[in-house]
């Protein structure tokens, strides 16, 4: 397997027709999450903002979209009917139209999830031991 350092290098590994589809997935993700960091992780394009957002990749007969977990696959299950899915992967067959609007919706939802997690981490935790001690005195 070829090790790549950039998304452009990754995309250059594919035949033109598949590269065009992957480029459109990339564009869709970047439009939905314009401030996300684009990187290569696990040998494929990845996007991060307040944690991992999504990955995508090209394979022999399909492209895969990885929404960093199973929660979005469950949340959008009715819209994903007809696509092969597994715990953390959605496969889009190259011979079929790619649902770019759905990809955009999923990226935006993932942005919300990551922002909520970040906000929850930022909240100061109350010290219940200190509160109980203060109440006794």
Helical pair 16-32 and 100-122, crossing angle rounded to 10 deg: 40
In-domain check, residue 1: no
- pLDDT at position 19, please? 95
Ranges of the chain whose pLDDT falls below 50: none
* Domain housing 62: 7-136
- pLDDT at position 62, please? 94
In-domain check, residue 89: yes
In-domain check, residue 109: yes
| Residue 121: CATH number of its domain | 3.90.1150.200
In-domain check, residue 2: no
- pLDDT at position 36, please? 97
- pLDDT at position 68, please? 87
In-domain check, residue 57: yes
Q: Which phi and psi (to 5°) does residue 132 adopt? A: -65, -40
Q: How many domains does the chain have?
A: 1
Q: Torsion over CA of 35, 39, 92 and 17, rounded to 10 degrees? A: 100
In-domain check, residue 110: yes
Residues 6+ apart with CB under 8 A from 29: 36, 47, 53, 54, 56, 103, 104, 107
CA angle 104, 79, 73 (to 5 degrees): 75
In-domain check, residue 28: yes
């Amino acid at each position: 397997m070829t090790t790549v350092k950039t998304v452009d290098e990754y995309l250059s590994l594919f035949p033109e027709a598949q590269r065009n589809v992957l480029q459109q997935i990339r564009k869709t993700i970047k439009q939905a999450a314009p401030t996300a960091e684009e990187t290569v992780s696990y040998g494929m394009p990845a996007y991060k903002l307040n944690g991992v957002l999504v990955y995508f990749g090209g394979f022999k007969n399909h492209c895969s979209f990885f929404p960093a977990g199973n929660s979005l696959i469950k949340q959008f299950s009715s819209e994903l009917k007809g696509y092969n899915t597994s715990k953390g992967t959605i496969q889009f067959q190259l011979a079929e139209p790619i649902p770019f609007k759905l990809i955009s919706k999923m990226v935006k939802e993932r942005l919300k999830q990551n922002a909520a997690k970040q906000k929850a981490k930022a909240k100061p935790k109350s010290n219940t031991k200190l509160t109980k001690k203060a109440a006794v005195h």
